[in-house]
Amino acid sequence: MPEGHTLHRLAAHFEKAFGGGTVRASSPQGRFSEGAARVDGRVLTESEAHGKHLFLGFDSGDWLRVHLGLYGAWTFGDADGERHLGAPRAEGADRLDLERDPDGFVVPPEPVGAVRARLVNTSGWADLRGASACEVITVEEKHAVQARLGPDPLRPDADPERAWRTVSRSRSSLAVLLMRQDVIAGIGNIYRAESLFRAGIDPLTPGRELTRERWDALWDDLVGLLRDGVRDGFIITTRPEDRPDPGARPVPRPDTLYVCYRTGDPCRVCSSPVAATELSGRTLYWCRGCQR
């Protein structure tokens, strides 16, 4: 499942590629036909992310809410080629010879697979597949969704004090709390495990046993890690000195991760075997040597 940095990259991409212009919306699959009709022909005026939710605002006052879930993905097409999830164009991607209709809108290719929603403008298109949520809502409904979410470390309105109040009173483990979107929005399995490793915290520590000092450091580190993810397009958690080649440019995981997906491998810091167990339906990774 995409984590918070990906949604913020998506929001920025929609702002750049679709913001301020009229959008044609459709549902090739048919499951989103009513919602598409509500925003078809409207101007996309706003784009924002909160946790794992993407919100696209239109001049009608309606908002398109998308939650990618485990299998959702956006595909973008424009003159620079195709790319997924709003990431920068891959090296060597083929440029597309775009056809346009008499009104100047791009004529996208025939949809492939179950395309839930398709957005088209004068410079390209975006296809959504496999999302767990895709709906058009009012601004009041948008606020209601956000009210159920915890602070998002990437948003300027994030309030870490709100998350701390929940964490400091809870008997639940930090590994469970960090995955709860009503505690901190946007944290997934990778950021959960990696941030706790970097902080040297046993993931099974109850929230109420964490000191305020360690909480503040954990929050600040999550902010930095997520910002790096927005900048780089993938998750980097290892410090340069803990990489096989400290001077090399980081490449996508697992070389940029400490414990995730490294069950049984030696810890990059202490050489203890990386441990893993199932917790609330997800695999938790940690190092018994570094996280006491």
Contacts of 144 (CB under 8 A, 6+ apart): none
Backbone phi and psi for residue 197, each to the nearest 5 degrees, phi listed first: -65, -50
Q: Which of 3, 28, 118, 153 is catalytic?
A: 3
pLDDT, position 1: 81
Q: What is the dihedral of CA 5, 66, 284, 215, to 10 degrees?
A: 50
CATH no. for 160-287: 1.10.8.50
Contacts of 251 (CB under 8 A, 6+ apart): none
Q: Which of 31, 162, 214, 282 is catalytic?
A: 282
Q: Which of 9, 24, 52, 198 is catalytic?
A: 52
2 catalytic per annotation: yes
- Which contiguous run of DSSP H or E holds residue 129? strand 124-129
DSSP assignment letter at 254: T
Beta-sheet pairing, 42-50 with 124-129: unpaired
The tens digit of pLDDT for each residue in 68-108 reads: 999 999 999 975 555 555 443 333 334 457 789 999 999 99
Residue 13's CB is within 10 A of a number of other CB atoms, namely 20
118 catalytic per annotation: no
Class of domain 4-147: alpha beta
pLDDT, position 245: 72
Q: Where are the domains of the chain?
A: 4-147, 160-287
pLDDT, position 256: 85
Angle at which helices 189-199 and 212-232 cross, to 10°? 130
- What value does the CA radius of gyration of the chain take, rounded to a whole number of Å? 21
pLDDT, position 63: 98
Residue 266: beta bridge partners? Answer: 273
8 Å CB contact between 195 and 258: no
Examine residue 254 and say whether the peptide bond preceding it is cis (omega within 30 degrees of 0): yes
Q: Which of 2, 108, 160, 203 is catalytic?
A: 2
pTM attached to this predicted model: 0.91
The tens digit of pLDDT for each residue in 157-193 reads: 999 999 999 999 999 999 999 999 999 999 999 999 9
For residue 71, give the 3-state DSSP assignment.
coil
52 catalytic per annotation: yes
Residues of the chain falling short of pLDDT 50: 86-95
Q: Compute the distance between CA of residue 73 and CA of residue 134 in angstroms, rounded to an integer.
A: 12
Q: Is 39 exposed, middle or buried (0-12, 13-18, 19+ CB in 10 A)?
A: buried
82 catalytic per annotation: no
pLDDT, position 243: 83
